[in-house]
Amino acid sequence: MTKGCLVFHDVVFFYESAGSPVFDGLSARFPVGWTGVIGPNGSGKTTLLRLACGELAPVRGTIRAPDRVIYCPQRTDETPGEFEQLLEAEDRSANVLRGQLGIEQDWADRWSTLSHGERKRVQMAVALWLEPRVLAIDEPTNHIDRVARRMLGQALRLFRGVGVLVSHDRELLDTLCGQCLFVEPPNAVMRPGGYTKAVKLAEEEQKRARHARDQARRALKKLQHEATNRRREAARSHRMRSKRGLAPKDHDARSRINQARISGKDGQAGRVLRQMDGRLEQARDKLAGIHAKKQQHLGIAMRGARARRDALVRLEAGSIPLGGERRLVFPELWISPEDRIALTGPNGSGKSTLIRQIVGRQDLPEDRVVYMPQEIDRSVASQVMADVRRLPNARRGEVMTVIGCLGSAPERLLETEDPSPGELRKILLALGIARTPHLIIMDEPTNHLDLPSIECLETALDACPCALLLVSHDQRFCQRLTRTQWEISVDEDDASGGRTYLRIHQTPSDPAATADLTAR
């Protein structure tokens, strides 16, 4: 039964600028409920969503989808077209969604001042309110804090249509999905269960495939050894039945050779050899038919150095406007060469605003600072790609090697004019690795990255000796890499309304020894 389902049948798709297809013969069925889409950055996950929603058309094959299809992209630059209608609507669904996702009435008027996490919540609320038959979502938990993530999960669980979810959020995939599509260009494999179950099945399949491949290789090697011996035997038999070199009057030898030819014994070795050649061909075909992925060993190293100065950044106490009447109030801030700081707080509390203030005030040489913003405009992304292509061959090779060590295909990336946000982050990481920074500042560094790349980045930053300032909602990431927390909290009782305060928690190896410094 396909009624009410999203169905791909033998779909072929490629971009004109690319040398290889993204999909070649993809067939998959997406039933009512959530299907996760999993794969490394640049593997074609977003392309699959755009095909499902009709934004792209397959080169060959068919895609059958119910009516009312909505696609929610990764980016949050544009205000959803129906946002104002959602704010004005008085139906139960609109009221529930506004409450579930914490949507405020003035957000449409101050869209430019909203955080990307707040924008993502708006995007999700509008999409769910429109009640599509197919909802395709690209990285819905990027940017949003833990509270909003929980609210979003609750809202998505109530969706009753066909849901297609691209995400690197393991918890969300496990909670929502009944099956997962693993994108492995130019094909894809559907496996039952959420992320944890599906990955376990994939690992078991690859383990069996590697075992079968090893057995097939041993069998082929054994046959090749046997074939070599048979060829020697056939050559010896050929020499023995040849009359060349016999004396003209050696009638006995000639009689034995003639008798062997009549009885057929002289051709037995040749027949066995021909049979062996057939067995060898079958063994080679069997080995070629076993698809066991090469085990890729990922990992990067970030060079860094501890600066020989007292402070890398010093910011006098003050406040920053956040839009409307809202302000972020902070104490005197400084970053010393050995600091490893996590900046945390709810969506819209001013984290990215403060980061930009700090980046603008630091006075280190350009090659001593690595800064990765939360989001990168498309125009900037295109410029970054153009700059990479213009690099000298050796330098470009180094960048592409790092990208390969982060699990993406360098050749495919160089072909694209519009890299995915995850691929773009890998490029910026690769460019930053070439430096020896004294300070690394990253705003939501795990957003858009696939899971193996997050683990690589975490390990690399852990070993890097320079100072770190990280903004992240990934609690495990921050716990491993930082020792000090700058927490932004909202004072709901403040008479002026909308003032937020930066509280600094020093977290040494002994958790009991904690200093709480508050600016008021």
Residue 496 sits in the same domain as residue 366: yes
Co-location of 188 and 330 in the same domain: no
| Cα 3 to Cα 224: distance, rounded to the nearest angstrom | 53
- Rounded Cα distance between 474 and 192, Å, is 27
Provide the CATH number for the domain around residue 94.
3.40.50.300
Residue that terminates a domain, selected from 271, 288, 305: 288
Residue type (1 letter), 317 = A
* DSSP-derived 3-state class of residue 430: helix
| Residue 400, Cβ density class (10 Å: 0-12 exposed, 13-18 middle, ≥19 buried) | buried
Give the residue numbers spanning the domain of 166: 6-193
CA distance 488 to 503: 6
Q: Does residue 264 sit in the same domain as residue 397? A: no
- Per-residue burial over 170-184, b if 16 or more Cβ lie within 10 Å, else e, is eebbbebbebbbbbb
Does one domain contain both 126 and 10?
yes
The last residue of one of the domains, among 288, 323, 339, is 288
Q: Are residues 375 and 430 in the same domain?
A: yes
User: CB-based contacts of 42: which residues, under 8 Å, 6+ apart?
Assistant: 408, 409, 412, 413, 416, 419, 420, 422, 423
Taking the CA atoms of 305, 434, 168 and 93 in sequence, report the sign of the dihedral they define. positive
Do 370 and 426 fall into the same domain? Answer: yes
Co-location of 455 and 358 in the same domain: yes
Of 193, 212, 232, which one is at a domain's C-terminal end?
193
Q: How far apart are CA 151 and CA 258, in angstroms?
A: 92
- Residue 512 inside a domain? The answer is yes
Residues 362 and 245 in one domain: no
Same domain, 32 and 86: yes
pLDDT tens over the chain, length 520 residues: 456 899 999 999 988 877 788 999 999 999 999 999 998 888 899 999 999 999 999 999 999 999 899 999 988 888 998 999 999 999 999 999 998 888 999 899 889 888 888 899 999 999 999 999 999 999 998 888 888 888 888 889 989 999 999 998 888 999 999 999 999 888 899 999 999 999 899 889 888 888 888 888 888 888 888 878 777 776 666 555 555 555 666 656 566 656 555 554 445 556 666 777 777 788 787 777 767 666 555 677 777 788 888 889 999 999 988 877 788 889 999 999 999 999 998 888 889 999 999 998 888 888 889 998 888 777 777 888 888 888 898 888 888 888 888 877 787 788 777 788 888 888 888 888 777 889 999 998 888 887 778 888 888 889 889 999 999 888 888 889 999 999 998 765 554 556 778 777 755 433 333 334 333 3
Spell out the residues 6+ positions from residue 318 whose beta carbon is closer than 8 angstroms to its own. Answer: 329, 330
Residues 321 and 390 in one domain: yes
Name the residue type at position 440: I
Number of domains into which the chain is organized? 3
Domain-located, residue 511: yes
**The pTM is what?**
0.67
Contact 28, 188 (CB under 8 A): yes
Q: Is residue 429 part of a domain?
A: yes
**Residue 211 covered by a domain:** no
124 and 168 part of one domain:
yes
Half-sphere exposure of 505 (CA within 13 A, CB side): 16
